[in-house]
Structure 1
């Protein structure tokens, strides 16, 4: 209080701006000299790009660095690039990098997300930083100055190019974020792309999905995918149930052929369900995670939940639910072709 002095005029200005009906461009309205927004928009964080554009009036979204709680890894040498083009150049003095080749088309051997060590076979497959190949995906493994040895960070990276001879990487997803009912496997990237296709049905109603997560519900026969959506409603027109049903079908149409065969032919997977949860549900989910010891600085909304208390929390705040009205399209024989092709490779 010895430094800060009351400024009634500024306080009135902020109250007036925040009291307006629309918060579109609120960042530039309150802070008119803002040049960019320093934010993470890679991986599943890309879902927040429309929201950030809305609040910032389209200011540049800058991803400056790639880091985790274990170590800093790299920097974005082209910070003003489009969010979809963000790549990171790893700094070799930060830690010792190794890379485990990833084949996300077949992850039956995937380890639990809590496992951070490598088995003997995986240690033999590790690739050095200088040996990574353009376009290949790898799981990042680091040995740090703090004492972590061949530690699996859990991030999947794709080699996007090179700066001189230094590899540059796109962040793809977190490893082992998988939904599965039968033989189907839906990873984080596929789910995010399906979400992008589904939310287009909400655009005419000026509504967006502010947060979401998913759950493979095997308590029903057959089991089915459940998506929990928390909405931001900017419009006044009520969204009819058929729109959410169309969203369910759009997601199913976007998933892989193994899932769609399970839905259409094998009948081993039930109709996808979207559950609309009350406002503030994902804040409560974060509070619960923090109460269990999660770091508030490192917390990210989980895109797939399995822990029973978390599922119970989400279900306790469901306002309405909707199912896919029909089966998605599926071409018979496509799954067999994929399996034959994988076995030949």
Structure 2
């Protein structure tokens, strides 16, 4: 149900650009009166639809309790469970317990054979092999009419390398539209520093495995702020205790969220009557009418713990970012980590973390650079520092992987038929098969 408002809001944001393009086209090609009429009718329909959807959103966020009641009734009707006689939110929450996903995407793929790895690196090199094939198809007119001039422009742009390629191909491009799934900050930063250098990024929605959950109504605000609307799917908020992953006794509704607090998202959709804990933790950073505006923080279950230290995804990523910042010329493109017991790499040493990083601007890691991550982790976690002092935990081992390592890992994760969209990229790998996919690509 949220997809239509989302698409209409996105179209509304794109209307000024569309108008400019249509105006230029009318000046150049002197569009016929009929084409101009069609343009005006389409413009008017889009403006009307977007205005109507924005009005509906305003009304629902002003009357949140009633809107969530309606969303729950819609979910109950679609679940095809006639024996359930829930009449209100309180009864629904009292009779249905919270559940977790029976299997994560990584767990499902961990027990399955992974597709074979190509001998060709999947990275900048493959761009030159695929780009040439694309240029040949454009020149030959497959599909469509032959465009030899455009093919020549593509070849020229590819010869200059991947950095800033998007603007070379489309000089009037102004914004890159993405879909935020949480935990993708590194991928967005890498895209902005390489292919889409010089371009602004805009994410109209926040999505999890259950569907679209949040809307970005203020694109001028910092990246990653989303309104949690009261419509379907039905959303609850589970308070997360500070410093732990233990949940509170009960969930809260959207109007009960407190600014500055962190909550795990709980989702109920029309396909089932399960109150599913998604594992996505958000922090309330503002309010829109009566609905919370949130920022994704981390995912539960993405923790490292070899001696009970519980290094969370957010804390580890922050420490890794500080360490990479001390590596001259290095830019972090992606990372993954695994506890040493999974790779059987603790023989003769204390348990530790095995960390795999993809970098730009650095081809080799010195021992001094590797040690900086362990120092940053000790600064970030007193518990980890204490365990390192007593020798209960060994120093983190950092490995540099070559081109295509994380792309191959993502392909393996996405190959599962039940893979959610967008696919979730685990930062902490729990299965040896997946960890070995990165281990095979270590270059330093």
For the superposition of Structure 1 and Structure 2, which TM-score range results when normalised by the shorter chain?
A: 0.7 to 0.9
Residue of structure 2 equivalent to 1:228: 356
Distance 1:318 1:3 in 2: 40
Distance 2:384 2:152 in 1: 55
From 379, 403, 406, the equivalent of 1:279 is 403
Distance 1:42 1:17 in 2: 31
* Matched residue SS, 1:157: strand
Aligned partners of 1:43 and 1:189 also within 8 Å: no
From 13, 19, 25, the equivalent of 2:164 is 25
Residue of structure 1 equivalent to 2:114: none
* Cα drift, residue 246 of structure 1: 4.4
* Matched residue SS, 2:443: strand
Distance 1:155 1:61 in 2: 22
* Matched residue SS, 2:241: coil
Distance 1:250 1:82, change over 3 A: farther
Q: Give unmatched runs, 5+ long, in structure 1.
A: 111-121, 321-345
Residue of structure 1 equivalent to 2:338: 215
TM-score by length of 1: 0.79
RMSD over aligned Cα, in angstroms? Answer: 2.4
Alpha-carbon displacement from aligned partner over 1:236-270 (angstroms, at most 9, x marks no partner): xx545145324434433443100011001x21100
Distance 1:223 1:317 in 2: 22
Residue of structure 2 equivalent to 1:318: 442
Alpha-carbon displacement from aligned partner over 1:211-243 (angstroms, at most 9, x marks no partner): 21011113413100111112334x7xx545145
Residue of structure 2 equivalent to 1:47: 186
Aligned partners of 2:181 and 2:206 also within 8 Å: no
* Matched residue SS, 1:126: coil
Distance 1:193 1:254, change over 3 A: farther
Aligned partners of 1:215 and 1:225 also within 8 Å: yes
Residue of structure 2 equivalent to 1:340: none
* Cα drift, residue 6 of structure 1: 1.0
Residue of structure 1 equivalent to 2:229: 91
Distance 1:35 1:198, change over 3 A: same
Alpha-carbon displacement from aligned partner over 1:189-227 (angstroms, at most 9, x marks no partner): 10111121011133x33x323221011113413100111
Distance 1:294 1:195, change over 3 A: farther
Distance 1:5 1:260 in 2: 64
* Cα drift, residue 41 of structure 1: 5.9
Residue of structure 2 equivalent to 1:8: 148
Residue 308 (structure 1) aligned with residue 432 (structure 2): yes
Distance 1:314 1:152, change over 3 A: same
Distance 1:3 1:224, change over 3 A: closer
* Matched residue SS, 1:127: coil
Distance 1:243 1:80 in 2: 41
Aligned partners of 1:62 and 1:80 also within 8 Å: no
Q: Which structure would you say has the larger Rg?
A: 2
Aligned partners of 2:182 and 2:206 also within 8 Å: no
Which has a greater percent of helix? 2
Residue of structure 1 equivalent to 2:292: 167
Distance 1:29 1:66, change over 3 A: same
* Cα drift, residue 4 of structure 1: 1.6
Distance 1:8 1:160 in 2: 51
Aligned partners of 1:98 and 1:129 also within 8 Å: yes
Which has a greater percent of strand? 1
How many residue pairs get aligned? The number is 298
Aligned partners of 2:217 and 2:227 also within 8 Å: yes
Distance 1:213 1:41 in 2: 19
Distance 1:104 1:226, change over 3 A: farther
Alpha-carbon displacement from aligned partner over 1:286-335 (angstroms, at most 9, x marks no partner): 23223443538432331001112112332233223xxxxxxxxxxxxxxx
TM-score by length of 2: 0.62
Distance 1:193 1:14 in 2: 38
Distance 1:169 1:47 in 2: 19
* Matched residue SS, 2:325: helix
